[in-house]
A and B are shown apart, each in its own frame.
Chain A
Amino acid sequence: AQKITQTQPGMFVQEKEAVTLDCTYDTSDPSYGLFWYKQPSSGEMIFLIYQGSYDQQNATEGRYSLNFQKARKSANLVISASQLGDSAMYFCAMRGANAGGTSYGKLTFGQGTILTVHP
């Protein structure tokens, strides 16, 4: 079974500052994928960044970077230069490892972290 844990129900950050959102995971699968999604109040799920378990480098996408520490089973999201529009709920998720099977792509989500960016 897979488990994703986000221990920060809410986080506050000043505009233009960096913020780290924590995510730890547990799985017995040797191959897995980790995702971060942003969910604004409108409800849509916006894909931010992806890290494969065998990727050697930490993933980066613009202002988003993923601090992947495999031994610690953590995949923290770092948002640099926060903007007011970054205020939203953020979810860490893990992909099922059954590559090619119908469950491939099934995601297990963490509890989410509500980020508030202050001006």
Chain B
Amino acid sequence: GAVVSQHPSRVICKSGTSVKIECRSLDFQATTMFWYRQFPKKSLMLMATSNEGSKATYEQGVEKDKFLINHASLTLSTLTVTSAHPEDSSFYICSARPLDRNTGELFFGEGSRLTVL
């Protein structure tokens, strides 16, 4: 299967700082990546769809100025949590759809656990 890598896997930051999380497809190209948020023992909630070369599409209720998404290349999408607060503490996980497959097959990163103090 294809590999998606997220970095960092864990990050602790002070309230008010910004944190960047990277999502890389290591052995395939992806025009579309998806960012999810997950609270402990809860479901994954889609935050936004990251589109290479264009603006991200955010789900209802997700603040685009709070969660900045950049899809700079066919293998990299970044999520920046700006001015993080304790309520932003969560597990963030990305998924990517290979460009050359039309089955809708998705591959997930390992996830990034953010703790805001």
Residues of A participating in the B interface, judged by any CB pair closer than 8 Å: 33, 35, 37, 42-45, 47, 50, 89, 91, 95, 99-100, 102-112, 114
Establish whether residues A47 and B43, one from each chain, have CB atoms under 8 Å apart when the complex forms.
Answer: no
Task: Identify which of residues 48-92 in chain B touch chain A, using a CB-to-CB cut-off of 8 Å.
Answer: 49, 51, 57, 91
Establish whether residues B44 and A89, one from each chain, have CB atoms under 8 Å apart when the complex forms.
Answer: no
* 6 sample A-B contacts, Cβ–Cβ < 8 Å, listed by A number: A37-B108, A91-B44, A102-B49, A105-B105, A105-B106, A107-B95
Interface of B is mostly: strand
Counting chain B residues whose Cβ lies within 8 A of the other chain, the interface size class is 20 to 34
Q: A103-B57, A107-B34 are in contact. List 5 more A-B contacts (CB 8 A).
A: A35-B106, A43-B111, A91-B43, A95-B104, A102-B31
Residue of B nearest to A4 (CB): B43
Establish whether residues B95 and A43, one from each chain, have CB atoms under 8 Å apart when the complex forms.
Answer: no
* B24 interfacial contact with A, CB 8 Å: no
CB-CB < 8 A to B44: which residues of A? 45, 91, 107, 109
